[in-house]
Amino acid sequence: MYSVGSPENISSLQNPRVKQLVKLRDRRPRDEAGVFLVEGYREIRRALEKNIPLRELYFSPEWFLGENEPALLAQAAAAGAALFELSREAFAKVAYRERPDGLLAVAPQWRRALAELKLCAAPFLLVVEAIEKPGNLGTILRSADAAGCDAVIVCDPVTDIFNPNVVRASTGVLFSVPLVVEESGKVLAWLRERRMRTIATTPAAEKIYHEVDLRGPLAVVMGSEQYGLSEFWLKNCDVPVRIPMAGQADSLNVAMASIITLFEAVRQRTGGAR
Amino acid sequence: MYSVGSPENISSLQNPRVKQLVKLRDRRPRDEAGVFLVEGYREIRRALEKNIPLRELYFSPEWFLGENEPALLAQAAAAGAALFELSREAFAKVAYRERPDGLLAVAPQWRRALAELKLCAAPFLLVVEAIEKPGNLGTILRSADAAGCDAVIVCDPVTDIFNPNVVRASTGVLFSVPLVVEESGKVLAWLRERRMRTIATTPAAEKIYHEVDLRGPLAVVMGSEQYGLSEFWLKNCDVPVRIPMAGQADSLNVAMASIITLFEAVRQRTGGAR
């Protein structure tokens, strides 16, 4: 039926593969195995589009929501993924989402170094510090993608970029936006070597974000949810800026502040006047 | 200990109040009772700050996360709320959140009509159509609050504004931003009577959102997540605009598009050049 050979069938909840998939929700087993989970049709399709070499693809037709799943399975198998068909109950156990759609893949983790980033003459980067909530990190990746950032650099991470909630909240952008995880000190040195201006948002700044020139080589730096920018970046960024806010003090979270700043940069970089 | 009289103690999971609190997660029982749930210290504090007359406040000290809860209970009691102390187990049953903090209030619903909105000479409104996800609606309310919108108008709602996830995602902004629920037709007629320009975002528009004059009496109109703007608003808005996007087509959701458009309006309305 699936024209993908004969996938192994799994119905036992005690099957070692089932147990391992559950374990991969946690960081340590993910890092030990060097893999992470990609759940859902949309995310798996995007991983395949970006040539992520999926190792395993677990599927359970009783959970399917659409009609394109067999084609996706065939595509994954052609790209080298091993397929496993799970019973309804077995899939319920391995599914991470509240509303599973019968598709769960295992992909290899990757690490990219700053030196590997290919940058144009006037790069546009987003640097985020120690973001705590996977959902926020995923949303920030989407914003960076929509704004056309050349790369996102995650400093001193609290949240694993391969957390299943990052994958989900990023709607697959994780597979396309170049992403580097590195210490703040090394990131700053690298940005300075490349003469990139750093703009950091903090409520204490005097200048308003749209009064500052956001054209040219630029890194927008965002702090963590709870603590805001660290002393390190407050002291070392070129221009601190603030976003004027009406209403209650905490209405803008870091994901919202990121998108406001990134799209003002886009506006200026595409010819809008300050 | 709480200097709030002697609250009734509830430990039975079969207690009618416990059962009713669970029911109030659903819209019909909420509407029948004319009330809604406000869970969590921050949200309840904000409701009290905005003089929302909480009817009941359920608390369970074993779940408390901080030290300010007794003061909050005293404040709620002074404002007329009936207090009920729940056992750990009973609170676990009524809590809606994944990580309860031992505080859950019942507040009366309200309805505000367009005619009740008090507007300045150059009002700045957000109009949202048929938003489906409570979390998005809550985030949009936060954005409108941060941008200083005079009111938010929800047209043809799919999501109840008193859904617990709206309350949570709005971080209490629900209690402060003037909010009206009304049919699109009536909203358009009302906006036209007041000579307010309507700017609506849609990917098909020619003009870019920051190329358009967003000063003066303004209503920013946003469509639903899945279907975008309805034919009605596409046909009847004064200026359709689009947000240029890099990356994958669906990187910006309605909450993200709202905040970009609202903050560009703020920028122009506070003196920034186009």
B residues 124-153 lying closer than 8 A (beta carbon) to A: 139, 142-143, 145-148
Q: What is the pLDDT of residues B53-70, one digit of tens each?
A: 999 999 999 999 999 999
How far from chain centre, in Å, is Cα A145? 10
In this prediction, residue A28 carries a pLDDT of 96
Q: What is the mean pLDDT of residues A108-113?
A: 95
Q: What is the mean pLDDT of residues A67-73?
A: 95
Q: What is the mean pLDDT of residues B101-127?
A: 96
Q: What is the mean pLDDT of residues A29-42?
A: 96
Q: What is the mean pLDDT of residues B237-259?
A: 91
Q: What is the mean pLDDT of residues B10-30?
A: 96
User: In the structure encoding, which two tokens stand for residue A256, read together?
Assistant: 């919202």
Which pTM was predicted?
0.91
In this prediction, residue A55 carries a pLDDT of 97
Q: Residue A260 and residue B256: Cβ atoms within 8 Å?
A: no
Domain B114-269 has CATH 3.90.420.10: no
For residue A264, the chain B residues in CB contact (below 8 A) are 263-264, 267
For residue B146, the chain A residues in CB contact (below 8 A) are 245-247, 251-252, 256
CA gap A217, A260 in Å, rounded: 18
pLDDT at A174 over 50: yes
Query: Pick the residue with more confidence: B262 or A4?
Result: B262
A residues 50-109 lying closer than 8 A (beta carbon) to B: none
B31: helix, strand or coil: helix
For residue B143, the chain A residues in CB contact (below 8 A) are 251-252, 256
Classify burial at B216, counting beta carbons within 10 Å of its beta carbon; exposed 0-12, middle 13-18, buried 19 or more: middle
Among B117, B100, B265, residue whose Cα is nearest residue B198: B265
In this prediction, residue A226 carries a pLDDT of 78
Q: pLDDT class for A88, splitting at 50, 70, 90? A: very high
**Residue owning tokens 């009524």:** B94
> Residue A104 pairs with which residues in a beta bridge?
A39, A58
Mutate to test the interface with A, among B213, B259, B263, B268 (most CBs of A within 10 A): B263
Give, in order, the Cα–Cα distances in Å from B224 to each of A22, A72, B83, B211, B230.
Answer: 35, 28, 39, 23, 8
Q: pLDDT class for A271, splitting at 50, 70, 90? A: confident
In this prediction, residue B248 carries a pLDDT of 82
Q: In what order do the strands lie in the sheet with A103-108?
A: A8-10, A82-86, A56-59, A103-108, A35-39
Count of CB atoms within 10 A of residue A124's CB? Answer: 25
For residue A267, the chain B residues in CB contact (below 8 A) are 210, 264
DSSP B128-143: EE----HHHHHHHHHH
A38 membership: H or E segment, kind and range = strand A35-39
Q: Residue B252 and residue A146: Cβ atoms within 8 Å?
A: yes
Among A71, A55, A64, residue whose Cα is nearest residue A86: A64
CA gap A244, A222 in Å, rounded: 16
A238, A197 contact by CB (below 8 A): yes
In this prediction, residue A1 carries a pLDDT of 44
A247 in reach of chain B (CB within 8 A): yes
A242 in reach of chain B (CB within 8 A): no
> Which of A3-12, B181-190, B225-234 bottoms out in mean pLDDT, i.e. has the lowest?
A3-12
CA gap B265, B147 in Å, rounded: 9
CA gap A173, A46 in Å, rounded: 8
In this prediction, residue A4 carries a pLDDT of 56
A12 membership: H or E segment, kind and range = none
In this prediction, residue A263 carries a pLDDT of 98
Residues with Cβ within 8 Å of residue B169, at least 6 apart in sequence? B134, B135, B136, B137, B138, B139, B141, B142
For residue A41, the chain B residues in CB contact (below 8 A) are none
> What fold does the segment set B8-108 form as a domain?
60s Ribosomal Protein L30; Chain: A; (3.30.1330)
**Residue owning tokens 């704004």:** A147
CA gap B231, B228 in Å, rounded: 9
CA gap B153, B198 in Å, rounded: 13
Q: Residue B248 and residue A148: Cβ atoms within 8 Å?
A: no
Q: What is the mean pLDDT of residues A62-86?
A: 96
Domain ranges for chain B: 8-108, 114-269
CA gap A147, B255 in Å, rounded: 15
